[in-house]
Structure formats: structure tokens, C-alpha cells
């Protein structure tokens, strides 16, 4: 049954019937070009992938586990630890970390992946960076490669 809804009127029976399947036409034209129906399928797959990725990426897991204070630790690493004169001098020129820092500060996603791979928490990362900066720097550089 075709839709007979009109502006300002009640919904027609076909729109209220939840068992009606939406028409999906051919996915490609004769020449192999994707149709709007194929694009709808790609869109759904993309959205589903984003949802599953958001639930499992290191940043989402870190914020879920440690709260938003996690971002303060990232800022402290970038603005304090990586700016100390002894640490700046200890960064080996040409190393992966040195090249990465040329593009800007460590991102929260990168730091979340680092603490996950290194079995740190944000608090223990700060303690380790303060207690033994050169060793922490080597771990940070090793994780980048």
C-alpha cells in the first residue's frame, strides 16, 4: 500500500505498519556505478564500525577508566615533562619521538595507547616521569617505534 500521508493530516496506515519492508533496489547500475541503495549500505556499515571503534579505542577506555582527569595528565606530560631542559636534551635527534614532537604535543589518544601498552595508569606515568625521567622518555620513544 502506498503512502497517503498529507501535511497536517494523520499518518496513513502504511506508515504505521512496522512490518512493511523498505524497498531496496539494485545496488549497482549496469555500468557498475553504486546506486543510492549501495551508498545506504556503506553508510550503515561505516556508522556501525564507528560505534564499535569508539567503545574499544584506547582513549575511550582511558577516559572511562580514569575519568576526565586523564586529560590533565596528558597536559602535564606535554607542558611540564617534555619541556624540561634535561628531557629536551635527552631526546635523541632523529628518533621517532623527536620527529613526532616536531608535529606538536602528544595527543590524548597517543598517550592513552602508551599507558595501555606500558601498563601505566595516569598517576604512575607521572610518578615514573618525575622519578626517572630518562627511563620514562626511553619507554615513550620505544612505544612510538
**In a domain? residue 26:** no
Domain containing residue 94: 36-144
Q: How many residues does the chain have?
A: 145
**Pure H helices in the chain:** 13-16, 36-56, 58-66, 69-79, 85-90, 96-101, 108-118, 122-131, 133-144
**In a domain? residue 92:** yes
pLDDT digits (tens, 9 = 90+) for 46-82: 877 776 676 678 888 899 899 989 999 999 999 999 9
Q: Please tell me the total count of domains within the chain.
A: 1
**In a domain? residue 63:** yes
**In a domain? residue 30:** no
pLDDT digits (tens, 9 = 90+) for 12-35: 666 655 554 555 566 677 787 777
**In a domain? residue 11:** no
**Pure H helices in 67-107:** 69-79, 85-90, 96-101
pLDDT digits (tens, 9 = 90+) for 105-142: 999 999 999 999 999 999 999 999 999 989 999 898 88
What is the distance between the alpha carbons of residues 108 and 71, in angstroms, rounded to a whole number? 7
Spatial CA neighbour of 137 closest among 100, 90, 68: 90
Spatial CA neighbour of 112 closest among 46, 47, 80, 64: 64
Amino acid at each position: 500500500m502506498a503512502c497517503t500521508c498529507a501535511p497536517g493530516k494523520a499518518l496513513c496506515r502504511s506508515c504505521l505498519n512496522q512490518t512493511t519492508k523498505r524497498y531496496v533496489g539494485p545496488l549497482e547500475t549496469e555500468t557498475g556505478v553504486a546506486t543510492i541503495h549501495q551508498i545506504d549500505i556503506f553508510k550503515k556499515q561505516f556508522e556501525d564500525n564507528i560505534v564499535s571503534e569508539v567503545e574499544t579505542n584506547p582513549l575511550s577506555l582511558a577516559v572511562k577508566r580514569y575519568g576526565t582527569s586523564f586529560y590533565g595528565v596528558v597536559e602535564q606530560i606535554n607542558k611540564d615533562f617534555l619541556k624540561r631542559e634535561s628531557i629536551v636534551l635527552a631526546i635523541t635527534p632523529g628518533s621517532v619521538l623527536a620527529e613526532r614532537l616536531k608535529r606538536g604535543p602528544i595527543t590524548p589518544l597517543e598517550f592513552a595507547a602508551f599507558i595501555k601498552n606500558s601498563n601505566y595508569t595516569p598517576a604512575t606515568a607521572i610518578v615514573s616521569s618525575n622519578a626517572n625521567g630518562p627511563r620514562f622518555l626511553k619507554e615513550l620513544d620505544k612505544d612510538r617505534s
